[in-house]
């Protein structure tokens, strides 16, 4: 009888682990790209790769401030308060979460050039079409603070096999800003896109700053968002193992 009860306890415990694994494991479903994008800029390299064309200085540009997803409707200019101030040297990692809207939302009253939440229309299983909308904004300043640029409302798109981070505003429209090189791209078992690479200046922004388009100035990484386990699940699992503990004590007493 003792052996039978012990075996029952082991089977119940094993079943509990299976149930927990089943609850926590996401199911495979290739769909629109989601996740968290991180852009890391090395301001030392960023500055060294550019010259202050607008201000006439030999020194380069830096990313002075970063605004995150909560400021998507904020007009950015040289006088805009808030944001996170970056060190002018060394590397800083910044959150550019993937937008979940499937059509671009325009907010023309947000600042001189408006703001838009760029749409995400790219399927993880076919990255050759569509785009990935990214939340966030930057303020760039040149040496001595004589020049100011404000790229924002970013999107990520692959054209002719090259990944480009683009900016959009009502003044410049859509312009390539940074390109990914040495790219690693894959889709995991859950149908989620994983993407990483080095960043280099490109497009109009490289022209405005006189940038060296061959210099690595940072890195990009896109990873799936962590899926939190609901509190109700933890309560269920806790209660289940509590019952298993009672069953085990009864089994010990019976022995």
What is the chain's Cα-based Rg? Answer: 25
Helix (H, G, I), strand (E, B) or coil at 112: coil
pTM over 0.85? The answer is: no
The confidence score (pLDDT) of residue 114 equals 92
Residuewise pLDDT in 10s, the chain (255 residues): 555 445 544 444 444 444 444 444 444 445 999 999 999 999 999 999 988 665 554 568 999 999 998 998 899 988 899 999 999 999 999 999 999 999 999 999 998 899 999 999 999 999 999 999 999 999 999 876 668 899 999 999 999 999 999 999 999 999 999 999 999 999 999 999 999 999 999 999 998 888 999 999 999 999 998 755 455 544 554 555 555 555 555 555 555
Q: Which residues of 216-237 are buried (b: 16+ CB within 10 A; e: fewer)?
A: bbbbbbbebeeeeeeeeeeeeb
Tell me the two tokens of residue 204: 């109009």
The domains of the chain are located at 36-223
Tell me what pLDDT residue 30 has.
56
Nearest to 53 by CA among 205, 174, 182, 197: 205
- What is the reported pLDDT for 253? 53
């Amino acid at each position: 009888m003792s052996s039978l009860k012990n075996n029952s306890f082991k089977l119940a415990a094993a079943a509990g682990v299976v149930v927990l694994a089943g609850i926590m494991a996401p199911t495979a479903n290739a769909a629109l790209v989601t996740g968290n994008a991180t852009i890391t800029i090395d301001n030392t390299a960023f500055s060294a790769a550019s010259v202050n064309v607008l201000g006439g200085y030999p020194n380069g540009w830096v990313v002075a401030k970063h605004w995150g997803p909560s400021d998507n409707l904020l007009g950015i200019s040289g006088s805009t308060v808030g944001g996170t101030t970056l060190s002018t040297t060394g590397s800083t990692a910044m959150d550019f979460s993937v937008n979940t809207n499937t059509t671009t939302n325009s907010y023309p009253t947000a600042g001189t050039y408006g703001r838009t939440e760029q749409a995400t229309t790219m399927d993880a299983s076919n990255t050759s079409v569509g785009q990935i909308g990214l939340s966030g904004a930057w303020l760039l300043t040149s040496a001595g603070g004589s020049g100011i640029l404000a790229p924002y409302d970013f999107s990520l798109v692959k054209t002719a096999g090259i990944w480009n981070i683009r900016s959009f505003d009502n003044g410049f429209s859509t312009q390539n800003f940074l390109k990914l090189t040495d790219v690693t791209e894959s889709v995991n078992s859950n149908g989620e896109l994983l993407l990483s690479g080095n960043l280099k200046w490109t497009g109009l922004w490289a022209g405005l700053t006189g940038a060296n388009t061959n210099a690595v100035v940072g890195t990009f990484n896109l990873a799936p968002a962590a899926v939190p386990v609901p509190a109700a699940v933890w309560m269920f699992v806790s209660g289940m193992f509590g019952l298993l503990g009672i069953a085990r004590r009864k089994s010990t007493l019976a022995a």
